[in-house]
A = this chain, B = another copy of it.
């Protein structure tokens, strides 16, 4: 039994989502009007409302669809792998691969995370939390296996997410390394950074932290 062919409705909905994501990615969610989307999709203003019932929901559909797929793909990919480090590497590769190939949607997911509110916000956030927990557990397991005690798991996890999710701010497939190279580099930096290197004591480099005491600048008066 094979998958149903997508209906006319589904096809057009997806087209609307993809076009909207592109505009949201370029101009930002709040600066994009439904009229902008109507123009780009060659539909009428009110005709769009047949496919979503509010601008909020439109954003949700993009985020949810996109995020669900990343997580599902990831789960399949690491399903029959046990070694936490390998699982982590695969997660990173999947995340970056999906990100680069769906830059618009992922930018909207990352950048407009707080542009949504209420129940829809909570729904997306529930999935996000699962994903974050997955990473934190992997790091925790790895840390135990390798007797790493000097790294905060939360800081490490979000550092990794920072590295990965920041790419929408700079990555240009036309002049940067390809996805392969991107994944290799980030995996290498994070993993060997997290696992640590006995020959390097990062601490040595800047032991005088007295400047951290200063409240820093005029903003704080």
A residues touching B (Cβ–Cβ < 8 Å)?
14, 18, 28, 30-31, 66, 69, 73, 77, 83, 85-86, 88-90, 93-94, 97-98, 101-102, 105, 111, 113-115, 150-152, 154-156, 158-159, 161-167, 169-171, 176-177, 179-200, 202-203, 205-206, 209, 211-212, 215-220
Is the Cβ of B164 less than 8 Å from the Cβ of A152?
no
How far, in Å, is A25 (CB) from chain B's closest CB? 10
A212 to B183 alpha-carbon distance, docked (Å): 10
CB-CB under 8 A for A188 and B193, given A101-B216, A162-B164: yes
Known: A69-B217, A154-B176. Contact between A196 and B206, CB under 8 A?
A: no
In the A-B complex, the 4 residue pairs with the closest CB atoms:
A193-B193, A162-B166, A30-B30, A197-B197
Q: Which label, helix, strand, loop or mixed, suits the secondary structure of the A interface?
A: helix
What would be 10 A-B contacts, judged by CB atoms less than 8 Å apart? A101-B217, A102-B217, A111-B111, A159-B186, A179-B212, A184-B202, A184-B203, A191-B200, A191-B202, A192-B192
User: Is B97 a contact of A185 with CB atoms below 8 Å?
Assistant: no
- A119 and B161 CA atoms in complex are apart in Å by 32
Known: A69-B217, A93-B206, A206-B93. A158 touches B165 (CB 8 A): no
In the complex, A198 Cα to B122 Cα: how many Å? 44
B170 touches A152 (CB 8 A): no
Cα–Cα distance between A208 and B54 once the two chains are bound (Å): 43
Shortest distance from the beta carbon of A213 to any chain B beta carbon, whole Å: 9
* Alpha-carbon gap, A32 to B86, bound state (A): 44
